[in-house]
Amino acid sequence: MTPSEVRELLRRHGVRPSRALGQNFLVDENTARRIVRLAELRPGERVVEVGPGVGSLTISLADEGVHVCAIEIDRHLLPILEEVVAGRDVEVVRDDALKVDWSARLGSEPWVMVANLPYNIAATVVVNALEQAPMIQRMLVMVQREVGERLAAGAGDDAYGAVSVKVAYYADAKVVGTVSPNVFEPKPNVESALVRLVRHATPPVDVDAARMFDLVRAGFATRRKTLRNTLAGRIDAEQFERAQVDPQARAETLSLADWARLADG
């Protein structure tokens, strides 16, 4: 849909974009088609879309011959969505992506997540889906560029953090494009990134994940401190030595494999 079509829809339904819900509606058909192309969808696949807004991306997804489950929290947008996707294979659901029971909603068959995620919850939605929704086997999500870089960062990258380690445990993540603010209504103040995530068949490290993530959180809690300080009381000198990790190093220098060895120590 064009910007004028989106504005007319919103006007006719008496709806204004909600800043609290992080609503920036996609209003560029070329960008919608680009997202669909990068998602590499096959006819008949099941696609879950979080935060469909007024349905610009939803239409492009459905036109690829896939089934779409569109999860929208804003009840004011549901009539717009129902109107826009009428006649297409789209199930519009009112639910909170931060609280949704993925198994009850999607079942056990394979799914793909394709979404323009609200900026204020994007990283949490991705991590929750990786942790709680094994049926979602891959994702193509549009997020704030800074968040996208964090999701896909590797050890030593400026954007690398605790969420990067968690994502690496569950999936291979890569930034596959950027998106101008000009394709949204209202226009955000930042660039967006397109991130592709492909779930690992099995995690690349064999480790007690809960213990490892506890160490990761502690290690990144104070980034300027050395691991000797941030992990004091959790990891002793012998454990550092067995893991072949320098206690004077900082969290952002450790790879997933390094964290796994520390957790096994």
- Over the stretch 131-143, which tens digit does the pLDDT of each residue have? 999 999 999 999 9
Question: Given this model, what pLDDT does residue 223 score?
Answer: 81
Question: Given this model, what pLDDT does residue 215 score?
Answer: 98
Domain residue extents for the chain: 3-199, 209-264
Residue 265 confidence class, pLDDT cut points 50, 70, 90: confident
Residue 25 confidence class, pLDDT cut points 50, 70, 90: very high
Average pLDDT over residues 227-254: 97
d(CA 8, CA 231): 55
Residue 23 confidence class, pLDDT cut points 50, 70, 90: confident
Provide the whole-model pTM.
0.94
pLDDT more than 70, % of the chain: 100
Most confident of 11-20, 218-227, 236-245: 236-245
List, for residues 131-176, the tens digit of each pLDDT value: 999 999 999 999 999 999 999 999 999 999 999 999 999 999 999 9
Instruction: Tell me: pLDDT of 72 over 90.
Output: yes
Nearest alpha carbon to residue 181 among 61, 25, 50: 25
Is residue 1 within 8 Å of residue 165, measured between CB atoms?
A: no
Query: Taking the alpha carbons of 112, 116, 119, 120 in that order, is the dihedral positive or negative?
Result: negative
Question: Given this model, what pLDDT does residue 21 score?
Answer: 83
Q: What would the CATH number be for the domain defined by 209-264?
A: 1.10.8.100
List, for residues 86-123, the tens digit of each pLDDT value: 999 999 999 999 999 999 999 999 999 999 998 889 99
Of residues 222 and 214, more confidently modeled: 214
Quick one: tokens of 49?
């879309």
List, for residues 177-194, the tens digit of each pLDDT value: 999 999 998 899 999 999
Instruction: Tell me: pLDDT of 125 over 90.
Output: yes
Task: Label residues 114-149 b or e (16+ Cβ within 10 Å = b).
Answer: bbbbbbebbbebbbbbbeebebbbbbbbbbbbebbb
Average pLDDT over residues 235-261: 97
d(CA 194, CA 88): 25
Quick one: tokens of 170?
């569950």
Range of weakest confidence among 11-20, 75-84, 101-110, 223-232: 11-20
d(CA 185, CA 23): 9
Question: Given this model, what pLDDT does residue 198 score?
Answer: 98
Instruction: Tell me: pLDDT of 208 over 90.
Output: yes
On the question of a cis peptide bond just before residue 188, with omega within 30 degrees of 0, the verdict is no
On the question of a cis peptide bond just before residue 186, with omega within 30 degrees of 0, the verdict is yes
Question: Given this model, what pLDDT does residue 65 score?
Answer: 97
The topology under which CATH files domain 3-199 is Rossmann fold (3.40.50)
Query: Taking the alpha carbons of 85, 88, 91, 97 in that order, is the dihedral positive or negative?
Result: negative
